[in-house]
């Protein structure tokens, strides 16, 4: 796999094909699931020049879910085709950051709700409304 990464960057005939549109050949090592695109949909799309991701904002039932799945499947390919990247490594680092932010955005509401519930239980217990 590393040999193909080196070849993609150093072979002038193949070169860096990122940002050249939808007809661009995507390096095979970039094909696969994109968690950042799946979890952050339209936000990820704006950041990666994938304007099709804005369809996730359409207020029709299941359109957002369908778009999330499509972005998860095609996100790497579309991001490579629509935005100029210095290298495959830079692309992967950036998409990894999107993944971490997506996980944080998905987990944060649960952590916030748990914190509020625990604070309310503590307050109710302090004032005697809940007995242990």
Across 103-128, average pLDDT: 97
In a domain, 63, yes or no: yes
In a domain, 7, yes or no: no
pLDDT of residue 4: 45
| Residue environment code for 13-45, b if the CB has 16+ CB neighbours within 10 A, otherwise e | eeebbbeeeeeeebbeebeeebbbbbbbbbbbb
In a domain, 111, yes or no: yes
Give per-residue pLDDT as tens, 94-114: 999 999 999 999 999 999 999
In a domain, 2, yes or no: no
The predicted model scores a pTM of 0.81
In a domain, 131, yes or no: no
Count of domains for the chain = 1
Which domain range does residue 94 map to? 27-126
Alpha-helical runs (H) found in the chain? 2-10, 35-47, 63-82, 88-126
For 93, the token pair is 């680092």
Class of residue 78 by CB neighbours under 10 A (exposed 0-12, middle 13-18, buried 19+)? buried
pLDDT of residue 2: 47
Give per-residue pLDDT as tens, 47-106: 999 999 999 999 999 999 999 999 999 999 999 999 999 999 999 999 999 999 999 999
In a domain, 60, yes or no: yes
In a domain, 18, yes or no: no
């Amino acid at each position: 796999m590393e040999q193909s990464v080196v070849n993609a960057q150093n072979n002038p005939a193949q070169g860096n094909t990122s940002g050249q549109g939808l007809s661009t050949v995507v390096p095979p090592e970039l094909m696969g699931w994109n968690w950042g695109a799946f979890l952050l949909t339209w936000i990820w799309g704006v950041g990666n020049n994938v304007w099709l991701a804005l369809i996730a904002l359409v207020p029709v039932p299941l359109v957002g879910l369908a778009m999330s799945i499509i972005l998860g499947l095609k996100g790497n390919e579309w991001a490579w085709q629509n935005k100029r990247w210095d290298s495959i490594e830079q692309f992967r680092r950036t998409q990894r950051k999107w993944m971490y932010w997506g996980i944080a955005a998905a987990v944060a509401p649960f952590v916030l709700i748990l914190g509020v519930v625990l604070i309310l239980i503590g307050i109710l217990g302090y004032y005697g409304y809940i007995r242990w």
